[in-house]
Amino acid sequence: MYAELNAVQSIEDPLKEILNQYYDETSDNQLKAAYYQDLSLDAPKEGLLNSLTNLISTTHANPLPYSRSKKLLHSLVDLHEDGKARSIYSGKSMEAGTLLSYDLVYEAAVREEISKYPSLQNLNGSQEDLLESVLTALALNVEHIIPQSWFDKASPMVGDLNHLFTCETTCNSFRSNIPYYDFDDYPSASKEIIRNDCGKRDGEERFEPQNGKGAVARANLYFLTRYPDILPQDRRKAIDIPMLIKWHEENPVTLYEKHRNWCIHHLQGNRNPYIDFPDKAAVLI
């Protein structure tokens, strides 16, 4: 399935282990056991939470630039078992071949792609801006579960694959930087704004996704544990933790998320503990 990626010259050695199979449970269990070997899961809540924060922070040994994260996300990390990527909110699938290739990292390839879209040819800006424009033209984007504006697009948060997901441009812009919400009448009601199977939005204050609630919840919980002091107080208060726990419990961890976690461990060095130990979420947060 991923044989075409073997030819890419820029792939690091750790990535080669995960190119020829979707998910190796035995390998991942061994990685997980070694990763958490010094952690006492029976420790009191505060001590365990602090230990997890320290672990997933210190092992985040390879912070990725956003440009690199996007290419890894679309080419490998965010693929489902059928080799397709799916928009996190609508669930619509996209062939992996339609996603941007690794070649877009090179400026010449970026110019070639832009030449296909006359409306983009007069744009000025950095290569990163041009790449973003190409993504938009291809109706693809990257969704930051914690919006970039909440942490001023700072690193390492902006490139942290644990909260990055493939998303249609329409759904990405529809959600914008609005906090997640669980409407009592959705999806049956249509009084509020509902767009293209992305979800429901109430003005500029609340958004409920159509799909992906379990993954969204666990990515949020990861971010809050990995970066406990990054978000401004008003932004942190906007995160409804009991609702996230509810989504987490109602939507169990999937093979897709295990694949993501396995890949991200190889690429960044750290893991999402709420994928590895879903029973600990309600206890810790």
Q: Please tell me the predicted confidence (pLDDT) of residue 137.
A: 53
Residue with tokens 């609508």: 90
Task: Give pLDDT tens digits for 38-48.
Answer: 999 888 988 99
Calculate mean pLDDT across residues 216-227: 98
Region 208-220: mean pLDDT is 97
* pLDDT for the residue numbered 227: 98
Residue 10 maps to a domain: yes
**DSSP line for 134-154:** HHHHTTEEEEESS-GGGTTT-
Place 134 in a pLDDT band, splitting at 50, 70 and 90: low
Does residue 133 belong to any structural domain of this protein?
no
Average pLDDT over residues 97-126: 50
Q: Is residue 255 part of a domain?
A: yes
Instruction: Decide if pLDDT at 139 tops 50.
Output: yes
Tell me the CB-side half-sphere exposure of residue 233, using CA atoms within 13 A. Answer: 0
pLDDT tens digits for range 241-253: 999 999 999 999 9
Provide the residue type at 128 as one letter: E
User: Rounded distance, CA 168 to CA 155, Å?
Assistant: 24
Rounded mean pLDDT, 149-168: 97
Instruction: Place 167 in a pLDDT band, splitting at 50, 70 and 90.
Output: very high
Structural domain count of the chain: 1
Handedness of CA 56, 234, 151, 198 (dihedral sign): positive
> Residue 276 above 50 pLDDT?
yes
What's the pLDDT band for 6 if we cut at 50, 70, 90? very low
Q: Region 3-32: what's the mean pLDDT?
A: 68
Say yes or no to pLDDT of 70 above 70.
yes
Residue 175 has pLDDT above 80, yes or no: yes
Question: Distance between CA atoms of 111 and 256, rounded to whole angstroms?
Answer: 33
- Does residue 93 belong to any structural domain of this protein? yes
DSSP 2-54: -GGGGG-TT--HHHHTTSS-S--HHHHHHHHHHHTTT--TTS-HHHHHHHHHH
Give residue 17's domain range: 3-99+138-284
Q: State mean pLDDT over 196-206.
A: 87
- Domain membership flag for residue 124: no
Between 209 and 187, residue with greater pLDDT = 209
| Contact between 273 and 280 (Cβ < 8 Å) | yes
Q: How many CB atoms lie within 10 A of CB 66?
A: 21
pLDDT at 224: 98
| Count of CB atoms situated within 10 Å of the CB of 228 | 13
| Residue 74: pLDDT band with limits 50, 70, 90 | confident
Q: Where are the alpha helices (DSSP H) in the chain?
A: 13-16, 25-35, 45-58, 66-72, 107-115, 127-137, 169-175, 213-226, 233-237, 241-250, 255-268, 273-276, 281-284
What is the model's pLDDT at position 51?
A: 96
**Pick from 112-116, 173-177, 205-209, 265-269: least confident:** 112-116
For the chain, first and last CA: distance in Å? 38
Q: Closest by alpha carbon to 175, among 192, 159, 198?
A: 198
Q: Confidence band (pLDDT; 50, 70, 90) for 11?
A: very low
Per-residue confidence band for 191, with pLDDT thresholds at 50, 70 and 90 = very low
The band of 13, judged by pLDDT with boundaries at 50, 70 and 90, is: low
Q: Is 123 within a domain?
A: no
pLDDT surpasses 50 at 262? yes
Rounded average pLDDT over 143-148: 97
Confidence of residue 8 (pLDDT cuts 50, 70, 90): very low
Q: What pLDDT, on the 0 to 100 scale, is given for residue 240?
A: 97
In degrees and rounded to multiples of 5, residue 201 shows phi and psi of: -125, 135
Mean pLDDT to the nearest integer, 81-97: 85
Residue 130, domain member (yes or no): no
Asked if the structure places residue 183 within a domain, the reply is yes
| C-alpha of 9 from chain center | 25
